[in-house]
C-alpha cells in the first residue's frame, strides 16, 4: 500500500463520500445530518480532516483512514490534539493508523508543537495498545460531566 495524506475541505463531496463513513464507523451515534453539523462547527474551531488515501495501483485512490486534529495553545505549550483516528475496519493492522500517526507527528514538529495528545475511551484496550506501541504515555485523566440540556 502506498499512502498519501490529503486535508479534506469542509464542506466538500470528498468529506461526505469518503471521510464521513469512516468517522461514523468510529462514532455510530453520529447521524448523517449530525456529522455535517459537527464538521462545519468543528472546522470553524480549527479542526482539520486529514485522510489517508491508498495511492497504489490496486488501491485506486481509496480513502483508508482519517485523523481529525487541531493545534491548540495550552499552558503546556502548543499541542497537536487528535480528536479522532480511524482506519477502514477491513484494513486494521495493515499500517494505516501507524502511518497516520507518523504524519501527525511530522505536522506537529513543523508547526512548533511540543507534543501530540489525544483522548482514548477507557474500555478501548486495542487502541491503548496501539498508542503505547507509538511511544505514547498516559499523562492525565480526562474527566467529563454531562450537562442537562435546557429547552
Residue 107, C-beta contacts closer than 8 angstroms, at least 6 positions apart: 69, 80
Establish whether the linkage from the previous residue to 11 is cis, with ω within 30° of 0. Answer: yes
- Region of 133 on the Ramachandran plot (φ > 0 left; ψ -120 to 50 alpha; else beta): alpha
Q: How far apart are CA 95 and CA 69, in angstroms?
A: 19
Which three cell numbers mark 84? 479522532
3-state DSSP call for residue 130? helix
Which has more pLDDT, 59 or 67? 67
Instruction: Assess contact for 142 and 122: CB atoms under 8 A.
Output: no
Compute the average pLDDT of residues 116-137.
93
Which residues partner with 116 through β-bridges? 80
Question: For residue 151, is pLDDT > 90?
Answer: no
Task: Check residue 47 and give its pLDDT.
Answer: 98
Which three cell numbers mark 129? 495498545
Band the pLDDT of 58: cuts 50, 70, 90. Answer: confident
pTM, to two decimals: 0.92
Compute the average pLDDT of residues 21-41.
95
Task: Check residue 9 and give its pLDDT.
Answer: 97
Segment 91-103, tens digit of pLDDT? 998 999 999 999 9
Which three cell numbers mark 52? 489517508
Which three cell numbers mark 7? 486535508
Task: Check residue 56 and give its pLDDT.
Answer: 84
Amino acid at each position: 500500500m502506498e499512502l498519501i495524506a490529503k486535508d479534506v475541505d469542509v464542506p466538500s463531496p470528498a468529506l461526505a463520500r469518503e471521510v464521513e463513513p469512516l468517522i461514523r464507523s468510529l462514532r455510530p451515534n453520529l447521524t448523517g445530518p449530525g456529522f455535517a453539523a459537527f464538521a462545519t462547527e468543528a472546522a470553524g474551531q480549527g479542526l482539520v480532516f486529514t485522510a489517508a488515501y491508498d495511492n497504489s495501483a490496486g488501491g485506486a485512490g481509496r480513502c483508508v483512514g482519517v485523523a481529525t486534529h487541531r493545534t491548540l495553545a495550552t499552558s503546556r505549550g502548543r499541542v497537536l490534539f487528535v480528536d479522532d483516528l480511524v482506519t477502514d475496519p477491513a484494513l486494521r493492522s495493515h499500517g494505516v493508523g501507524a502511518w497516520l500517526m507518523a504524519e501527525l507527528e511530522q505536522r506537529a514538529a513543523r508547526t512548533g508543537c511540543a507534543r501530540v495528545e489525544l483522548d482514548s475511551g477507557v474500555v478501548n484496550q486495542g487502541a491503548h495498545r496501539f498508542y503505547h506501541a507509538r511511544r505514547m504515555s498516559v499523562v492525565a485523566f480526562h474527566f467529563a460531566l454531562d450537562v442537562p440540556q435546557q429547552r
